[in-house]
Amino acid sequence: MPKIYDKIDLTEKNKTKRKKNTSANNAAKKSRTSKNTKKTAEKKTAASASGSSAKKTDTAKKTRKKDVASPKPATKSRQKKISSDEPLQIISLGGLEEIGKNMTLFICGNDAVIVDCGMAFPDDDLLGVDTVIPDFTYLESIKDKLRGLVVTHGHEDHIGGIPFLLQQFHLPIYATPLTIGLIGSKMEETGMNASSLFNTVHTGDTIHLGCFDIEFIRVNHSIPDSAALAITTPAGVIIHTGDFKIDYTPVFEETADLGRLSEYGENGVLALLCDSTNAENPGNSLSESHVGSSFEALFSRAEGKRVIIATFSSNIQRLQQIIDFAENHGRKVAVSGRSMQNNVEIAQELGYLKFRDGTMIDMDSVNSYAPEDLVIITTGSQGEPMSALSRMAAGEHRQIKITSKDFIIISATPIPGNEKAVTRVINSLLKLGSDVIYESMYEVHASGHACQNEIKLMISLVRPKYFFPVHGEYKHLIANRATAVSMGIPERNVILSEIGKVVEFSHGKAGFSGTVDSGRVLVDGYGIGDVGAAVLRERKRLSSDGLVFVVCGIENGSGEIVSGPEVISRGFVYVRDSEELMNDIRNRTTELLESFRSSRRYRRGEMQELIRAELGRLLYQKTKKSPMIIPVILDI
């Protein structure tokens, strides 16, 4: 009788687990002491994780050679290892019920591997917070098991948390060349040199980290060099799609390695962790080369005008198409925006972006060219306030003044939440007289994520026993489940997990077994975790109700008021129309100070506290607002 995945079973399992272990930390201890006799696996760990980086590369190279000689190494090792009854735990520390900060932990016996470490952009309610990253607390408790960080591709929601992770954990990183290049430039920005931790892996290669064999499999996505992972573990093979789509006519790269995926499928896959971003959309995602034909039409419409195209700086395939069209139409290309300039440089260095000598010109020289001879590629496709396109729209860009001689293409779909900002930028650009082409007008963007047909193909190739939707809001995970069920996967074999939940595979069966510390960590500037709930509450209050200072000087000793009370308010009320209210504040403060004087109590803290509380009551009564009140009492 399979004890899996209907609600009762899960609760039972949870209960028994909890009885045995107070936390998954203990569970980890337990598995360490239990029948862990895989000497060979341990030896491998020592070779690949604790050696120097040169050794690691050697190991990887050897593996690659071995892979070429025997086409199905993963299968062999799987059959060898599947006899082990070491359970496998998969824990998402981010990326479920959200799009952003993807991070998944695979733990088996004495070994743990992290897949991706991303960041999320803050919601509107996180005032002044720059970045949101996963909570790494749990990693501290399994520190000795961590064998490395494997990264599927170079998007921020997969690499953005790495600088913060490396501040706490010294881990080797395994990724494809472009991904390593992008992580490297990210580390440089923070001033940390992490290059000794970098291990470049090509798709088709297999790396060995502890008891895990991990093969990088080529997939298509909106950034080159994206990989799915086939993770062979003692408990079975797990396929993690990473972010993927299947593009039969990709730009300057090959179609996803469907053959390799189906080989794994043939040999048995325990679970498929599958990208859910576009799971609500039927059909297929648009091919990247389709965007090319839209560009072709738009370039002819833009005759006589300067073309300005905003897109994601990481979408190297898109940049290549734009550069090709520019060259075909005899136009020069200039690049605006720091991340765009960075990425163009990295991609060109690594050979992912090709252009003729003389095509690229410096931003500073754009004004010496006629409009019809130029294409400007810029950041700002999401309406980001400080981006180059927003500065152009506001008339604040150093080199570009928008006029009716400009033909602007926004080649990206607004990420949910950014629609208003994008609309604002479009409106401003239109007011300046330019043409603006955006999302709904042309197919100027192709999503990088699989729609239902591609997900169906993935499922039919991989034929997993368990389907584990990841990378999506709850509604996306649910939609992805429906697709899997329509393909014949029983609903009880679909794993709908949550951040911090431990999914455990043992003897070919899956179930939940407790939770670990997890959540989000807010980063303000470079400080990690220094923005707590209290700080956010204060910022919220300041932004909605403003600030009131009450300043007065009292004579040291007598307690007599010698200056003030002076009232200064910011963002609270319009002072000129509120003379009466300001008087009320002054009068009430004077009363309070007098009462202190007559009772001969001058303890400043106490006085300030009372003034704050009393004025708070008064202002709420009169205005229904709760500004932050700061009484300042000076001894004179």
- Smallest gap, in angstroms, from Cβ of residue 217 to Zn ion? 16
Instruction: Specify the long-range contacts of residues 253-259, CB closer than 8 Å, at least 24 apart.
Output: 253/218, 253/220, 253/224, 253/317, 254/218, 255/220, 256/217, 256/218, 256/219, 256/220, 256/228, 257/203, 257/204, 257/217, 257/218, 257/219, 258/457, 258/461
Residue with Cβ nearer Zn ion (135 or 157): 157
Chosen residue from 38, 44, 81, 155 binding Zn ion by CB under 5 A: 155
- Smallest gap, in angstroms, from Cβ of residue 202 to Zn ion? 19
Q: How far apart are CA 229 and CA 275, in angstroms?
A: 12
Q: Tell me which residues in 596-625 interact with Zn ion (CB under 5 A).
A: none
Q: How far apart are CA 260 and CA 5, in angstroms?
A: 29
Residue with Cβ nearer Zn ion (224 or 564): 224
How far out from the chain centre does Cα 275 lie? Answer: 14
Among candidates 372, 373, 376, 404, which has minimal Cα distance to 303?
372
Residue with Cβ nearer Zn ion (243 or 524): 243
- Smallest gap, in angstroms, from Cβ of residue 152 to Zn ion? 8
Residue with Cβ nearer Zn ion (225 or 243): 243
Residue with Cβ nearer Zn ion (306 or 449): 449
Stretch that binds Zn ion, among 237-245, 416-424, 534-542, 547-555 (CB under 5 A): 237-245
Residue with Cβ nearer Zn ion (232 or 480): 480
Residue with Cβ nearer Zn ion (402 or 470): 470
- Smallest gap, in angstroms, from Cβ of residue 256 to Zn ion? 14
Stretch that binds Zn ion, among 79-87, 196-204, 236-244, 499-507 (CB under 5 A): 236-244
Q: How far apart are CA 415 and CA 160, in angstroms?
A: 17
Residue with Cβ nearer Zn ion (160 or 234): 160
Phi/psi at 466 (5° precision): -115, 140
Chosen residue from 116, 156, 157, 384 binding Zn ion by CB under 5 A: 157
Q: Taking a C-beta distance cutoff of 8 angstroms, is the pair 377, 314 a contact?
A: no
Q: How far apart are CA 400 and CA 376, in angstroms?
A: 9
Stretch that binds Zn ion, among 54-62, 157-165, 280-288, 311-319 (CB under 5 A): 157-165
Q: How many C-beta neighbours within 10 Å does residue 443 have?
A: 14
How big is the site for Zn ion, counted in residues (CB under 5 A)? Answer: 3
- Smallest gap, in angstroms, from Cβ of residue 158 to Zn ion? 6
Stretch that binds Zn ion, among 150-158, 340-348, 482-490, 591-599 (CB under 5 A): 150-158
- Smallest gap, in angstroms, from Cβ of residue 426 to Zn ion? 25
Residue with Cβ nearer Zn ion (257 or 406): 257
- Smallest gap, in angstroms, from Cβ of residue 479 to Zn ion? 17
Stretch that binds Zn ion, among 62-70, 125-133, 151-159, 566-574 (CB under 5 A): 151-159
- Smallest gap, in angstroms, from Cβ of residue 401 to Zn ion? 35
Q: Tell me which residues in 382-421 interact with Zn ion (CB under 5 A).
A: none
Give the number of C-alpha atoms closer than 13 A to the C-alpha of residue 386, restricted to the C-beta side: 2
Stretch that binds Zn ion, among 239-247, 299-307, 406-414, 517-525 (CB under 5 A): 239-247
Q: Tell me the H-state helices in 70-141.
A: 73-81, 137-141
* Interaxial angle between packed helices 338-349 and 177-190, expressed in degrees from 0 to 180 and rounded to the nearest 10: 140
- Smallest gap, in angstroms, from Cβ of residue 160 to Zn ion? 10
Residue with Cβ nearer Zn ion (255 or 563): 255
Q: Taking a C-beta distance cutoff of 8 angstroms, is the pair 233, 81 a contact?
A: yes
Q: Taking a C-beta distance cutoff of 8 angstroms, is the pair 389, 397 a contact?
A: no
Q: How far apart are CA 372 and CA 155, in angstroms?
A: 33
Q: Tell me which residues in 240-279 interact with Zn ion (CB under 5 A).
A: 243
Q: How far apart are CA 11 and CA 20, in angstroms?
A: 14
Burial tier of 109 (Cβ tally within 10 Å: 0-12, 13-18, 19+): buried
- Smallest gap, in angstroms, from Cβ of residue 179 to Zn ion? 11
Q: How far apart are CA 496 and CA 518, in angstroms?
A: 17
Percent helix, strand and coil across the chain, each to the nearest 5: 40, 25, 35
Q: How far apart are CA 403 and CA 627, in angstroms?
A: 44
Examine residue 208 and tell whether it contacts Zn ion (CB under 5 A). no
- Smallest gap, in angstroms, from Cβ of residue 131 to Zn ion? 15
Residue with Cβ nearer Zn ion (243 or 247): 243
Residues of this chain that bind Zn ion (CB under 5 A): 155, 157, 243
